Structures are given as C-alpha cells and as structure tokens.
Amino acid sequence: MPFINSWATPDRRVLLSLAEPVIATLDSHIQVRPSDCEAGGILLGTVHGSNIAVVEATVPTTWDKRLRFFFERMPSGHSSIARARWNASRSTVRYVGEWHTHPQDYPWPSTLDRIEWNKLSRTRADGRPMLAVIVGRKGLYVELVPHAGTGPVMTPME
Ligand SMILES: [Zn+2]
C-alpha cells in the first residue's frame, strides 16, 4: 500500500500534498528488514498561502550517521541541494521541513525528535512552522512543528 498524497490539519486550514516522487522516495526507505538503518533527508516544496506542496525529498548522504534507531543529518549535502533548487526555481522551491524513518509500523516522535524539530523550526528562514514527517512501516506521522511545543498532527484525506 503506497502512502497517501493529500494531508490536512484537523481544522483543514493547512493542506499538504506530497508529489509522486516524494512518496516514492519515502517508500523506498521504509525500514523493512531488521537490519535496515534509519534514513532521512529534507523536504523541499512550494507554499501557497498556508498550504504546502512538497516536490522533493532528499535522500541520505554519505556524511549522515545512520544506525538502526538513530539518524543524524549532516547539514552540508542537504542544504546545498536546497540552495540549488531555490536558485533554479527562481525562489519558489524552498526548504519546508524534514523526514526520517523509524522501525515502527505507525511511528511516533521521540523526545529527541521533538527537541530537534523545535530547534529546526526556529531556524526556518521564512518563520513558518516546520513540516516533520516520520516514515513508519505502515504509515506516516506528519506534524506542523511550531517554534516551541507540539503542533497540529496532519491526517490523510482520501
Ligand atoms: Zn525519530
């Protein structure tokens, strides 16, 4: 079962679409085997009012630290891709958030994830909340992370 493309906050104020290549990238990094390591990258997309369209998910670089229950992104490779897309798209495709995998069917953020997400949210150049995606074996966890605390969790629209 492929992941769903369209998501919304409970109040339907923020709609999110994940383009087909994004779904394919997330899908190909699911931690299927017991030996599979966590993976992750950044999410690039366009914003339309409060809505977000994710057009690209970067894949782990050789600098990232990958373990079974741990993933640490080394910013250099990912941010240079973000810069290149921003320039090539005439400043429309931007950094919108991050994704990583968990070896859980229906994933849930760890305490460390939350600390890291709030930190990343505060550093976003456009001041918007950060889109955080965790890829589980059977579903995605999608949250709009504010500068502090917990944000709205998005649910699939079918
Ligand atoms: Zn995590």
CB 110: neighbour CB atoms within 10 A?
13
CA distance 142 to 144: 7
pLDDT in tens, 91-135: 899 999 999 999 999 999 999 999 999 999 998 888 899 999 999
Annotated active-site positions, please? 38
pLDDT in tens, 50-60: 999 999 999 88
Asked if the structure places residue 79 within a domain, the reply is: yes
- What would the mean pLDDT of 56-72 be, rounded to a whole number? 80
pLDDT of residue 1: 57
- What CATH number is attached to the domain comprising 22? 3.40.140.10
Could you tell me the distance, in angstroms and rounded to a whole number, from the CA of residue 102 to the centre of ligand 1? 6
- The domain total for the chain is 1
**Reported pTM:** 0.91
Could you tell me the distance, in angstroms and rounded to a whole number, from the CA of residue 23 to the centre of ligand 1? 18
Length of the chain: 158
88 and 16 Cβ atoms separated by less than 8 Å: no
Asked if the structure places residue 148 within a domain, the reply is: yes
- Say which residue, 142 or 70, is predicted with more confidence: 142
Range of the domain at 109: 6-156
Asked if the structure places residue 92 within a domain, the reply is: yes
CB 47: neighbour CB atoms within 10 A?
14
